[in-house]
Chains A and B, each alone.
Chain A
């Protein structure tokens, strides 16, 4: 890439099940104020703004960037909205990254949010499917995800117990994350005995539904030092897809995620992800997905995810901590979740992750995705 890009400021709201005290615009403002303060900048020093939010049906305002522009203070600046289902936060950061790398801007503010308390979530997701043949059986996102997990149980050994260990780990980690709103320790037994929603997915395999926003300030190399002496450099970022009806779609290993990882690892010089990364943040809509991501991201070979979680290697004191923030289990404002993963990864290498800091973290991986598990992105950031 011709120009290096750094994350020089991050901010997120204290996420909640329902924020009745602010509108969508107010929620966005909170995250923007925090990111700008963190970058020691005012909005006047930002050239361009990327807004990312989940499908507009989630919160029932069409083209909401045109509403929140005033809360951002971006009148007559470039503002564009990127949307890509649940992974939209990372897709938005990618757009901002290229604005700087391609010379269209020196500093870009990326803000991602969802206010899920204001819409009908699973109904909105159901309209994702083809109106003629897809909507009868693939209601919401859970039935579809359960079917594929079931297949992975047989072929890859992603057992219910292994997924329950993901729930135990992430929910415990969330307790130390000041921005998470679900803070309750659970045991493997409790997860196993929780109510089946779409078996094998059970209540405690499922993240909360949240209101929340997140923002990052991206900067060109020349101006990065104005904000911080310790930025998070973006070593690579990509966002790949898989076409819906592809006959060859396996879903055992997420192919678009594997492709994204391969491409980004190449540009970032990653040859042994398990050994090289100090910390990983993944966007796990259900616990079973975290197991799948271990394999797609190359943290272990296909079929070894259950052993990896069981070994404790992905705990905060393990050799490859995954989701020390608690991931989506602690807070899940979907449109923001991908950007929150990037923020948590960046905060680790910037040394500002406070209570959830992994000691000496210098190289971090963030993963995000959306759609019907067919849009997948990764980012690599370093100190």
Chain B
């Protein structure tokens, strides 16, 4: 990548819960901003800028970043709001440091969908004249994507159930996601129909939570991070708004985003040690893995076996915990932690490279990819 090197210095995350009913947005944000400096020797005074992600619509207030600036520690600092998943905020922060305009940046993303109407959040993204009147929404898009993918590759909903159960069990094991009881594959199949052929548990579960990631230039990284995780490539892309006009069975914007990130990283082949991807459903999780070049079309389920050469979503990924607008930044935080502390995730010490992915929009219209190296 052109410009100076940029590293993930540290991250902090609240537990991801179906509802943080006893805490306001500012409480969740303060918790991660307070914790993110731990072990770095840095303080808020060292932070040059803040880029944050959140949604006015989910938050129920206009310019919602205004209300949270104090909690974010942004007072009298440079601040910008990216109204997209937090991985885009991290991409912005990366550019700012690479440009030499700053040396330490704080990236924050948060979500409280429990206080909002997630269905309306997505429906209000739909085109007002032709899409909304017919009731098209995010779940419908996920269902259509799943029908197409399963038919194309001769798979059945049963094939997805094991994947979903594994994700919930991983999420429960790592302790960063509130899981009352991880469902079995049979329970995944038996959960109510949500968007045929997908059951409710095959869709990502919206959760509340906040995440903060501290980025720094090479000089700061040498001092402040025990194991700096270098951001070596970034890429993002947006597909057409018209769902019917997108290429069915693939995620072309995800392909473009991954291609750009991997080219910037200078990787000759796509063989990261581990990946953390976002997904709206069990099927789009597979489609993301394929679009990123990790598996041939229809073969991504194999990456989810325990003996897969790539560790996929050891955190559990987005299916058990989707803090909308923060999901991709959680993936970055998780991927960086897995690279710097592989033992905590049952991974061998040889982890060298990772790919983190975020998405946004109805039917995952937008995708963002980052390559990481230690």
Contact = CB atoms under 8 A, between A and B. Distances in A.
B253 to A, nearest CB: 6
Contacts of B346: none
Contacts of A58: 62
A241 B241 CA distance: 33
B66 A85 contact: yes
B238 interface: yes
Interface string A161-182: 0000000000000000000000
A371 B63 CA distance: 7
Given A77-B237, A78-B235, A103 B2 contact: yes
Nearest to A248: B75
A332 to B, nearest CB: 17
A79 B82 CA distance: 11
B83 to A, nearest CB: 5
Given A81-B82, A98-B101, A259 B66 contact: no
Contacts of B234: 104
A81 B127 CA distance: 17
B4 interface: yes
Interface in A243-284: 243-246, 255-256, 259
A202 B80 CA distance: 32
A377 to B, nearest CB: 9
Interface in A40-69: 55-58, 60-63, 65-67, 69
A241 B75 contact: yes
B345 interface: no
Contact of A240 (B76, B256, B260): B76
Contacts of A127: 60-62
Contact of A131 (B2, B60, B99, B238): B60
A100 to B, nearest CB: 8
Contacts of B3: 2-3, 101-103
A131 B76 CA distance: 24
Given A60-B124, A85-B66, A101 B83 contact: no
A84 interface: yes
A62 B66 contact: no
Interface stretch (B31-39, B303-311, B360-368): B360-368
Contacts of B84: 63, 80-81
A23 B130 CA distance: 13
A78 B62 CA distance: 25
Given A83-B83, A103-B3, A242-B69, A125 B124 contact: no
B242 interface: yes
Most chain B CB inside 10 Å of its own CB: which residue of A55, A74, A238 = A55
Given A76-B252, A241-B77, A102 B238 contact: no
A98 B75 CA distance: 22
Contacts of A129: 61, 67
A102 B234 CA distance: 11
Contacts of B77: 240-241
B78 A240 contact: yes
Interface string A82-102: 111100000100110011011
B81 A61 contact: no
Contact of A76 (B92, B253, B362): B253
Nearest to A125: B62
Nearest to B83: A83
A66 B365 contact: yes
Interface string B68-112: 011000111111111110001001101111111100000000000
A370 interface: yes
B27 interface: no
A375 interface: yes
Nearest to B132: A61
A71 to B, nearest CB: 9
Interface of B: 1-4, 55-57, 60-63, 65-67, 69-70, 74-84, 88, 91-92, 94-101, 121, 124-125, 127-129, 234-242, 252-253, 256-257, 260, 360-362, 365-366
18 contacts: A23-B129, A56-B57, A56-B124, A57-B57, A62-B121, A66-B366, A75-B238, A75-B239, A76-B256, A78-B235, A101-B100, A101-B101, A102-B3, A130-B67, A241-B69, A242-B75, A242-B76, A244-B69
Given A82-B83, A85-B63, 13 more contacts: A55-B62, A65-B238, A66-B241, A76-B252, A77-B238, A78-B260, A80-B84, A99-B95, A102-B98, A102-B101, A241-B77, A243-B74, A246-B75
